[in-house]
Each structure stands twice: as C-alpha cells, then as structure tokens.
Amino acid sequence: MKESGIRIKKIDGLSSFPFADPGSAASSMYENYLMEYRETDIPLDAAFIASRMNDKRISAVCTYEGKKPGLFVMYSQNDFDSSVLGKKCARVELFERGSRLGRERATAHAAAFSEKLASDGFGMLTARVRGSDFILCDALVGSGFVSVDELDIFWMRSGSREALCAQMPVGHTPHGAHSGNIKGKKRRSSVVLSDITPSIRGDVERLSGDSFLKSRYYNDPFVKKSVADKFYAKLASSFIDNTDGVRIAALHEGKLAGFIIGVENEFISSAIGRKFIYLYLIAVDGGHQGIGVGETLVRAFTSRCFEEGYEIIEVGTQSFNFRAAALYERCGYRKCEYLRTFHRHINEAGKGKGGK
C-alpha cells in the first residue's frame, strides 16, 4: 500500500517490531496510554507487547517512508458496531509515534493507514487517543476523522479499598439488599440497593436511554439519530444481560431511583494479568437527583468490585460533565487521562450531516 511514498507493513511479532527496543517502546506506549499502570507492578516490557500482538483479535501494522518507521498502529474488528451500522467497523487500539513525525507527516501517515483499512473492506474506523497528543489529534482530523467525544478517565485500584470502605454507609452488604439513609437538602430519603432483577428490567432500559444522549454516535454528523438510538438501545441491553460483571439498582419507595453497571474487560485483564472492570453505565432518575443516589451507587459498586476480586476499576465521563467528575473524585477515584474519540467513515467525507 502506497500513498505519497508511504507504505504499510504488517507486524507479525517482536521479530518484525519496527523500533529498536520493543521493551522501551512498550513502556512508552502503554505508560502514556494507560497512565494508571505506572503505579502498579504490571511489567510493561517486550513480553507485554508481544502478548498484545499475539492476540488473534488484534492486527498490527506500521507505516514507513523508505526504511524509516512512522505510525505504529494496533487495531481490531469491531463486531458490535458493525452489526448495528451495517458496515465493517474497526477499532484502533493504539496509535503511537505520531508526535515524533510532525503534523504534516503524521497526517499523511494516518491517511495511508485509513486507506489501507478501506482496501481491506472496512467502512468505518474508531480511534481513541490521548487528548494531550495535539499533533496526532490534528493528524486524524486532517486525514478525514471527525472528533465525536472527549472523555476524562478516572480509576481506582484495590490498594485504595480501605480508604473507600471507611466511607461506606453503615450496614452495607454488597451481595444482598440493604436499606441506607441518604441525606438530601430537603428531605432524608431511604433507598434500597439490590441486584437488577427481571421485574425492573424495563425501567432500567428506559432510564439507560437518557444516559447516552451526548455520547459519540449522537455527535457523529454521518450517523442518523435513528441509528444511534438503535446502537445505544442494543448496547444497554448487552450490559443489562451481562451477569458476569457488577450490577446494582437503587430503589426508592418501590420505584427505580437509579442503577449502575460494570463489566469486566477480559481483553485488558488478560493483557495485564489483573482483573479489570469498566464502569460502563450509571444513571439516576431525574426525580431522585440531588439526594445522594449516585454517590451511594458508586460507593456500593466500588466495594462490591473489590470484594469480587477486581483489582482495577476504570470509568470515563464526558469532559464537560463536571458534576460526574466531582462525584468520582469524592468517592476516591483519581483522574488519570484525558481521551478524545474520532470516527472516520471511509466513503462519507463531504456528504454533509449524514441525514440526521
């Protein structure tokens, strides 16, 4: 594959790794991309990057100008998005070395990579990159990507459990229902925490629909609202149906006041050798906001995650959602990264707003 003298080479393993020191490159890539792991004993070495590259779900390529490597990219086919959008979608797991190329060259290399995936039949690409990598972000926009989301990432590790548990409501029992008193500005309300049961599933689905309205597909000018609605309804159902994670509902006077759902990311867990869970969805009913339901859910979720052996919890919230950010920090989470999400629809450039 050539574009402006740029060629694409498939990277099959460490033997064809494009940079001189794969251990150093792995440390650089993953310490920057997943900053929280700096404080753990996860070995960011050549063996780590080899495990990622040996995963059959991931493809790795590198762009070259002559013999000089440019962008190193890991990507995988995104079957979930493909099933809803009706075209072959790819998720870029990692873009690296963009800042070392400079803006103009990084743009050309990103365009060459995109065209390579287009020739492989992909119709849509999703890339999530560090927001602080301004050159790479500009390169993605310059090569046809559209910025659709900005996330602040928060995390907590199991070593912080003691500090968190000291703040848990008295009488909390993560695996059973319990009553907890929550102080509100106008009244003192009693909520009951329990598992998400079939009897409240419909209410959970309804409430979850309001939680995605500012998410990436609603911000994508090439995706119709009806398609975004279908995508997030299916996504919410997949979270609700996944019984392997942690799922908690908050009830008030017999009605759903809110819920929280986290699912283990087995892909990351296997790569880092630590049980990793991502808090995918939290929602509080409008009639129950401002009385502490969200904080109770986050604390209960965190406690149960650690009790069930998860070692790292991660959650992302839109960068403009200052209220959510304050909630996570109040519950002991720390901000570790700022990420931007980009979409590129291979054959959609220049077609306006995509019929929204």
Q: At residue 81, does pLDDT exceed 60?
A: yes
Condensed to tens digits (0 to 9), the pLDDT of residues 6-17 reads: 999 887 765 566
User: Does the model's pTM come out above 0.85?
Assistant: no
Condensed to tens digits (0 to 9), the pLDDT of residues 226-282 reads: 999 889 888 888 888 887 889 999 998 888 999 999 999 877 777 677 888 999 999
Domain boundaries, given as residue ranges, for the chain: 2-144, 154-338
CB 205 within 8 A of CB 237: yes
**What is the DSSP code (8-state) at residue 169?**
P
pLDDT band at 52 (very low <50, low <70, confident <90, very high): low
The answer as to CATH 3.40.1710.10 being correct for domain 154-338 is no
- Tell me whether strands 188-194 and 246-252 are parallel, antiparallel or unpaired: antiparallel
Q: Quick one: residue 86, left, alpha or beta (phi over 0 = left, psi -120 to 50 = alpha)?
A: left
As given in the structure block, the two tokens for residue 19 are 């940079």
- Common-topology check for domains 2-144 and 154-338: yes
For 2-144, CATH number out of 3.40.50.720, 3.30.390.30, 3.40.630.30, 2.60.40.1930 equals 3.40.630.30
Which among 305, 339, 336, 330 is positioned nearest to 147, based on CA atoms?
Answer: 339
Distances, alpha carbon 345 to alpha carbons 53, 269, 348, 351, in Å: 26, 30, 5, 10
CA distance 219 to 214: 7
Classify burial at 142, counting beta carbons within 10 Å of its beta carbon; exposed 0-12, middle 13-18, buried 19 or more.
Answer: middle
Q: What is the mean pLDDT of residues 146-170?
A: 71
DSSP class per residue in 7-19: EEEE--SGGG-SS
Type of residue numbered 90: A
Predicted confidence at residue 291, as pLDDT, reads 81
Predicted confidence at residue 90, as pLDDT, reads 95
- Report the range of poorest mean pLDDT among 17-21, 50-54, 124-128, 215-219: 17-21
